[in-house]
Amino acid sequence: MLRWGVLGTAGIARSQVVPAIQGSSNGRVTAVASRDPGRSTEFAAAFGIDNVFASYEALLASPDVDAVYIPLPNAMHAEWAIRAADAGKAVLCEKPMALSAAEARRVADYFAAGNVPLMEGFMYRFHPQNVHALKLVRDGAVGDIREVRAHLSVDIMANAAGNVRFDKALGGGSLLDMGCYAVSAARRILGEPFAAMASFDLDPATGIDLAATAILEFPDGRVALISSSFKGSGQGFYQIIGTKGVIDVPRAFIPGLGSRVAEGLVIASDPDGRRSETIFEPANHYRLMAEAFTDAVLSGEPVPYPPEDAVNNMRALDAIAASALSGRRVEI
């Protein structure tokens, strides 16, 4: 069993990741740290966590913690990942791993130098529906892939007050919070883009992007259409357009909401409109991610998705932001 520590009591830790680890076959959360003793004590009681630390530093110093999950605000990811590496702790870090490609590069190199496992927490990649969609692509089910359209939105405008997603200094904005998923999905299918053209719906009060739209250019004339929003209706999907058909994954990033885990679905259509649907049993992709990461740490094998993937995702996100703010096409 891998012994996990959690830095902070963020909503994603409470609603998804900690329950997933506690229900996993190979790990348990044994420690939590928070700067609010009351919150950490309540959190620990809710999830049967034995050890409560008054500071992140104290948790990292514990010899009874093997790995750390970091669900802190975006701007704190790189700093605390590096501190965890100094303590020799394997790290599963919430996305994005850093606020820029340069910062992500520094984190990745730091972990490589210390031979410490590190992975960015894109859970959707472990859901059977997304594994299946990628297999269809690689098997040539819809021919040569020409375009990917990916979108994620959740309407959180009514809950903006006090929400870190609306704090520019903490790495807020829809692109880093939600657009990173869409970029990841496109790169997973098409490889690495070489240019971006984008626009933002900027909030004049906070300076963050409330919505982002981008075109990513890939070799051989292939493209990805990317969008994210804090104003949308909670939709997360991607569509893969090939020369011989289309693959749709209608609930790619949020197959279930809250504690509910819904069925997965992949739809393949041919040029004549004939459809085939593959339905997957409900699966907790957070648990699958935690188990895969844990297996790698316990066995000494490489993590399923190396830190280099996080660096490349940030390179695309940097270019999107630069294009949106300048109004110009930006090469990556």
CB 27 within 8 A of CB 53: no
First to last CA, the chain: 41
From the list 109, 97, 231, the residue with the least C-alpha distance to 171 is 97
**CB burial of residue 187 (10 Å; 0-12, 13-18, 19+):** buried
CA angle 202, 207, 210 (to 5 degrees): 40
Pick the catalytic residue from 89, 95, 135, 168: 95
Give the span between the Cα atoms of 285 and 251, in whole angstroms: 13
Residue spans of beta strands (DSSP E) within 51-108: 51-53, 67-70, 90-93
Known catalytic membership, residue 95: yes
Is residue 238 within a helix (H) or strand (E), and if so which, with residue range?
Answer: strand 236-242
Sign of CA dihedral 152, 155, 157, 160: negative
**CB burial of residue 227 (10 Å; 0-12, 13-18, 19+):** buried
Give the span between the Cα atoms of 305 and 88, in whole angstroms: 19
CB atoms within 10 A of CB 160: 17
Instruction: Look up residue 198 and give its DSSP letter.
Output: E
CB 69 within 8 A of CB 13: yes
Residues with active-site annotation: 95
